[in-house]
Structure 1
Amino acid sequence: MSSTTVSANAVLDQIKNRRTYYPLSKDLTVSPERVQEIIKEAVQHVPSSFNSQSNRVVVLFGDAHEKLWDITTEILKGIVPEANFAPTAGKMAMFKGAAGSVLFFEDQEVVEGMQAKFALYAEQFPIWAMQSNAMLQHTVWVALEAEGLGANLQHYNPIINAKVAEEWKIPSTWKLSAQLVFGGKTGPAGEKTFNPIEDKLKVFGA
């Protein structure tokens, strides 16, 4: 793959453009193959501690995507009181109405292997794996946004972990960390506000 030099501003513009979109449609601005290509490149190139490569991803389209949210709905029916379930059901239908879902996992076998190999840093490897996974989630989200797709990030783990693993034969060492729902944008993103940068950034020595 050839590399193209781009300015930092071009990269930052893509990051600024990433937003949360509700609801999403099944209309994709790019092919499913292009979505897979984007995710494959992100998985390969997002950094990880000691190059441990603990990130794992499952991409669901069509019936498989809808099955995920049917599973989640059924599980939530056993948790949320029936009298209060209507808003939850509406939210699940909204996610199901999108085009697909990206499931992000961390392979605990890799994490535990690194802990055994580098005992001095054993406590840090779960944290580093989570940080790498978060970078992957953000990278995929930004890249899909750059292709014109909308997305929103959900966290129905751990309550759906067992059923997801059973349905798609996920290895027992893969720990689910997030679900990125993607699809066509049906409207603008909500307003985004910012706290003062002075409260969040300090610079010394410049």
Structure 2
Amino acid sequence: MKTDFLDIQKKRRSVYALGKNINQSNGELVSFIENTIKESPSAFNSQSTRAAILFNENHDKLWDIVLDNLKSHLKSDEAFNKTKAKIDSFKAGYATILYFTDSDVVKGLEEQFPAYKANFYDWSEQAQGNAQYAVWTGLADNGIGANLQHYNPLIDEDVRKTFNIPENWTLRGEMVFGSIENPAQAKDYIDDDNRFKVFE
């Protein structure tokens, strides 16, 4: 068995110390992200995943939106300062990918295939996971760090208004990426006996 892909997978980690020292152009990054999502599998070839890629002041606006929406939930100066430091670490990254699911696609499939109606939302989430993982792993293979956040649905309405997002796009995650300023910690693994069963 070839193990090249396993080696690439091992590069993908949640990297939180991100910077703006990226060698690729925005155009190269956009092309890579878009094509990676296009090649990611989805049930019924539904292609329900959508994305918005935020650079420069748009990237900053996103994390300002997150902090503004979190303020009312922070009950002390200490909590605010701790949260602000975390959000600032995301803002220090180079760009952010917003991942969405097109709810019209999901609803359309539910209507077209009623026998599977209960499954299409779950399958759209699997498509999200496939797309997010593929992009994340591909970025890592290019020496770019990333981490995935989920401030949705708290920020959904402000994101929709700020970036003119269609009503039928449902936010599912926020992936910030940038140069790796400090590598991720080593990953721990549970025992294989607790994870796998093999029947021969």
For 1:71-110, what aligned pairs fall within 5 Å after superposition?
A: 71-83=65-77, 84-110=79-105
For residues 97-155 of structure 1, what are the alpha-carbon distances to aligned partners after superposition, in whole Å with 9 as ceiling and x for unaligned? 11000010000000000000000000000000000101100000000111111111101
Q: Which residue type is aligned with residue 119 of structure 1?
A: P
Do 1:48 and 1:129's aligned partners in 2 also have CA atoms closer than 8 Å?
Answer: yes
User: Which whole-Å CA distance do the structure 2 matches of 1:50 and 1:70 have between them?
Assistant: 37
Paired residue secondary structure (2:174): strand
For 1:38-57, what aligned pairs fall within 5 Å after superposition?
A: 38-57=32-51
Do 1:29 and 1:149's aligned partners in 2 also have CA atoms closer than 8 Å?
Answer: no
User: Which whole-Å CA distance do the structure 2 matches of 1:22 and 1:43 have between them?
Assistant: 23
- 2:113 aligned partner: 118
Q: Point out the more displaced range, 38-47 or 97-106.
A: 38-47
User: Which whole-Å CA distance do the structure 2 matches of 1:62 and 1:95 have between them?
Assistant: 13
User: Which whole-Å CA distance do the structure 2 matches of 1:100 and 1:82 have between them?
Assistant: 30
For 1:1-206, what aligned pairs fall within 5 Å after superposition?
A: 8-83=2-77, 84-205=79-200
Q: Which residue type is aligned with residue 70 of structure 1?
A: D
- 1:3 aligned partner: none
Paired residue secondary structure (1:175): strand
Per-residue deviation at 1:29? 2.9
Per-residue deviation at 1:81? 1.4
User: Which whole-Å CA distance do the structure 1 matches of 2:50 and 2:165 have between them?
Assistant: 10
Structure 2 residue runs of 5 or longer lacking an equivalent are none
User: Which whole-Å CA distance do the structure 2 matches of 1:81 and 1:95 have between them?
Assistant: 22
TM-score normalised by length of structure 1: 0.94
User: Which whole-Å CA distance do the structure 2 matches of 1:136 and 1:8 have between them?
Assistant: 23
Per-residue deviation at 1:8? 3.9
RMSD: 1.0
User: Which whole-Å CA distance do the structure 2 matches of 1:54 and 1:33 have between them?
Assistant: 23
Do 1:55 and 1:132's aligned partners in 2 also have CA atoms closer than 8 Å?
Answer: yes
Per-residue deviation at 1:21? 1.0
Do 2:17 and 2:183's aligned partners in 1 also have CA atoms closer than 8 Å?
Answer: no
Paired residue secondary structure (1:191): coil
Q: Which residue type is aligned with residue 46 of structure 2?
A: S
Q: Which residue type is aligned with residue 54 of structure 1?
A: S
Do 1:29 and 1:147's aligned partners in 2 also have CA atoms closer than 8 Å?
Answer: no
User: Which whole-Å CA distance do the structure 2 matches of 1:100 and 1:28 have between them?
Assistant: 10
Percentage of pairs with the same residue:
37
Per-residue deviation at 1:85? 0.9
Paired residue secondary structure (1:151): strand
Per-residue deviation at 1:82? 3.3
User: Which whole-Å CA distance do the structure 1 matches of 2:98 and 2:132 have between them?
Assistant: 9
User: Which whole-Å CA distance do the structure 2 matches of 1:183 and 1:131 have between them?
Assistant: 25
